[in-house]
Each structure stands twice: as structure tokens, then as C-alpha cells.
Amino acid sequence: MPKLRVEMKIEKVTMELPDTKTLQLKWPEGYDVNFLSGQFITVWWPHHPKYKRAYSLSSCALDRGRFEITVKREGKMGTSIVDWAEKGDVLGVIEPTGKFLPVFEPPGRHLICIAGGSGVTPFRGFLREATQRKLDTRITVLYTVRTTNDIIFNDEFLQLEKENPNFNFLVTCTRLTDEDPWGGRRGRIDADWIKHNIDDMANTIFYACGPNGLVEMAESLAKDELGAVKDQVVLEKWG
């Protein structure tokens, strides 16, 4: 069946960082679709209908009535959204699709979510759903950013960490000066850091999302260095 295409009004915009904006898109009257956390929607500007781009939902499947996407100022569509999209504007939206899905069943899995920069967006959906449903699924977000000023959803993830005893939010910064007071990890994501956060390999599933370079690096660490098999690695490449 063809995917549903509708126009949605932007009901709220939030600047997460100077270059990253979350849009809240209000479902029109009578809109009622089934979708899953981790999926993406495809959007376009009504005055430019041929130019469509995918955005992961940063909201979750329990957040009905609106979709949230979180966009970085990157390329043509990313820049137009971050620089121009405002409350009251309208975007075309193709309903959610995609296979980047959290494995919540069977219970007891450990999801290792590897993200760089804006690639963290779908993991907010994973976390919101697991926390609201009080699932026992363990979720560890291993997040690489340049500096502490580049952490998207920092406050929300720290709050979710308090609410959800099965969630760990770990950040590594790659470009801090030696004088910076950051007490957390520094340097790139590597196999040792991931390994340190795994205690039951058979029940672990690795996720990686974002620009191709980061996702391919994560895939190679999980498969070649940690011995994960195909079904234990779920990837979403943005290009």
C-alpha cells in the first residue's frame, strides 16, 4: 500500500544547540498511523515537493498526536530547516517507516547504542519508550561528540538516567582542550570502551546511527573486534 502523505503544521520548535533544532509536527485531524520507535519520516517543503529527505523520529511510538524530528544544520535540507523552519510553517510528511527498531522483546536484552553528533536522535525515542513502559531492557548510549557544547539532549538523557535504572548515558569528547574541566571520557570510541560496557555478549545488540563513516566504524568494532554476529548489529546509515 502506498505510504500516507500529508501536510503537517510545525507546532513547536526547540533549539537544542546553535546548529540543531527539534520540530514538533502536529498530526492533522483524523491522522492515525501505526509506527514504531526508531523509524523515520520523510519530509519536504510544500513549495519544493521534489526535494524530500528522511529524518529519524526523536519522539517515540507512545508520543501520539505529533512527530518530533531533530535536525542538524547540514546540507541543503538540514540548513533550510534549522535556519528557516518556524512555528506555524507547514511541511509535507510521509508516514514513518524503517527497520532501525529497538528489540524490547524478549525482555532482558542489552542495547548498546553508538552515536555520533546528530546520530543520537532515534535513541531518544528508544529511551522514552523503554522508560515510559518501565521495561527491563538495558540501554547504554555511547555518544561521541567534539566538545561538551555538542551534546544533543544532554539534560533529557540525564533526567532519563535518573528515572530509568537500566539506562546509562556515556559521552566521549574528541576535541576538548587540555584545560577543559570535563571529567568524563576523552578520545574516540574504541573496542575497549564498548567492551567495558558489555557483560553478557549473547544478549547484547549493537545499534549505530548517523553519517556512514561513524556507522561503518561501529559495525567493524562490533563484528570484527567484539565478535558480534549479523543479527546482533542494527545499522542506520544517513549517507
Give the binding site for ligand FAD (CB under 6 A).
Answer: 40, 53-56, 69-72, 74-78, 117-118, 121, 211, 236, 238-239
83 vs 200 by CB, closer to ligand FAD: 83
Write out the H or E segment, with its range, that includes residue 75: helix 75-84
User: Amino acid identity, residue 37?
Assistant: S
Total count of residues recorded for the chain: 239
Whichever of 54 and 103 has its CB closer to ligand FAD, that residue is 54
The nearest distance, CB 20 to ligand FAD, in angstroms, is 7
Which residue lies nearer to ligand FAD by CB, 102 or 117?
Answer: 117
The nearest distance, CB 173 to ligand FAD, in angstroms, is 17
When the beta carbons of 89 and 198 are compared against ligand FAD, the nearer one is 89
Q: Shortest Cβ distance from residue 5 to ligand FAD (Å)?
A: 17
Give the up-direction half-sphere exposure of residue 180: CA atoms within 13 A in the CB hemisphere: 15
Residue nearest to ligand FAD (CB): 75
* Beta carbon of residue 72, minimum distance to ligand FAD (angstroms, whole number): 4
Nearest to 7 by CA among 77, 82, 88: 88
b vs e for 193-228, b when ≥16 Cβ sit within 10 Å of the residue's Cβ?
bbeeeeeeeeebbbbbbbeeebbebbbebbeeebeb
